[in-house]
Amino acid sequence: PRANVAAAAASRLIMERAFERIKPGEQPPPPPPELLAWVRDTTYGSCAGLLYGAWHAHAAEKRATLDANEHATVRKHRLWKRTISDSTLHGVRLGSFVSVFSAVRLGMEKRRETSDMWNIVGAGVLTSALTGLAIPGSVVTRLKGAA
């Protein structure tokens, strides 16, 4: 019980400091290490999604049948358009998945005050369930995806 009270008091101090007004010329407090880890993980996930999207678009265009009447400039334009579209789509999707996963994992580590595999398992279960709930369709379809 005393550890919980001490942890709550420390958390309250951090939150009060986080929302404290900073006067002009004064140095802001350093960001918490959890925030830096979350930003790093989210950035890596988004960049991986961008690269995967570009690869996916290029591979799809290589598999497509070529039209002999299509001009090379039109083909290049279509490839660029598809690459940008797929990179953006996959970057946002993978980046948001990694962002939620990382936030839940770091939150569980902070709450449980331990870093072990159960934080990763819990984050994976919750993130996968939320992703399943985002499936288009009826509520029943979404609940099946979350299960």
Give 77-138 as a DSSP string. HHHHHHHHHHHHHHHHHHHHHHHHHHHHHHHHHHHHT--SHHHHHHHHHHHHHHHHHTSSS-
How distant, in Å, are the alpha carbons of 20, 28, 61, 110, 122 from that of 10?
15, 19, 55, 12, 25
Tokens of 24: 């002009």
C-alpha of 46 from chain center: 7
Query: What are the pLDDT tens digits along the chain (147 aa)?
Result: 566 676 667 666 666 766 778 889 988 878 888 889 999 999 999 999 999 999 999 898 888 877 888 888 988 898 899 999 999 999 999 999 999 999 999 999 988 888 899 999 999 999 998 888 888 888 888 787 777
State pTM to two decimals: 0.73
How far apart are alpha carbons 87 and 80 in whole angstroms?
A: 10
